[in-house]
Amino acid sequence: MKGSAFSKWLSLAFTSPLVYVELVAAVLVLVGWIVSWYFELSGAAKLLVWMVPLTILVTSAIVGFCYATYSLLSQDERGSGVTRVASGLPSGARPCIRFLGWEATEAPLISPQGREMQITERPWLTRLTFANEPDLPTSDLMAHKVAGHVEFYDASRDSFFFGMVGQWSSDVEGETDTIAVSQIDISSDATPYYLNLVLKYDVDEECYGINNDTAVRAPADWRDEKRKLGQGLYTVKVMLHGTNVAETFWFGLINRGIGQRVRILQIST
């Protein structure tokens, strides 16, 4: 560390604004010495020829060393200030969104737009559970304006089927309450928040991607044909973005067909 600081000091000293003066003075000293030796000058003539340039060289070098010392001290003071500010921040001072699990619950009968489903059998809603669990759970670490973008692929991730903006929901007095927003604030007290994925009827082989515009795209029964997934295994990519939040999660989605509910398995990237 000391060697590095000394090298930096020398570098600053010989790259100061006076470096060109030093170079010219050094050349004049050399030329003056050669001239005084060749012509055997003495006295005042000798002083004028090479002693004056030597004085200029020494003076400019001293000024350069002073400049380098001042520059290093100034940088240390600025660096110390940054360190103090940074060290004043608590560790883990960011929201921390974690995946807690998944569940299949009865779907709401009323859409976010207030429309009632025209059905005789209530479908199942498969959703993911997330929570904000920072190391220091303070109100300042609430995750603001978190939106979820969901993409569906085949099992090998080679074929992309469709993507959609996620739909958040929460439980209120034991009933599923759909929040008709694409963004949500997630508190830092580990309260669970739910991101809806698919809707499935027991009588169907297929399941259907669901979000806030499903009731507009398929108002009668929410079976959105453009977001239909047949029986099989799929890969789901969930990207959560918000203020100081950028998280990506991967899941396996298993649709086992008629009479079976959709299952979810978290997988690595």
CA atoms within 13 A on the CB side of 23: 7
Distances (CA, A) of 64 to 13, 55, 59: 5, 14, 9
pLDDT the model gives residue 20: 57
Length of the chain: 269
Show the DSSP H helices in 156-225 as ranges.
214-217
Q: Give the pLDDT confidence score for residue 173 in this predicted structure.
A: 43
pTM (two decimals): 0.62
Collapse the DSSP code of 40 into the 3-class scheme (helix H, G, I; strand E, B; otherwise coil) and give the result. Answer: coil
pLDDT at 110: 66
The Cα-based distances of 76 to 73, 88, 89, 257 in angstroms read 5, 18, 20, 67
Give the whole-angstrom CA distance, residue 77 versus residue 57: 31
Averaged over successive runs of 10 residues, the pLDDT of the chain (269 residues) comes to: 50 54 61 63 60 66 62 46 36 81 84 65 91 81 93 95 90 50 86 94 95 87 94 97 93 95 90
The pLDDT, as a whole number, for residue 176 is 47
- pLDDT at position 262: 96
Q: How far apart are the first and last CA of the chain?
A: 41
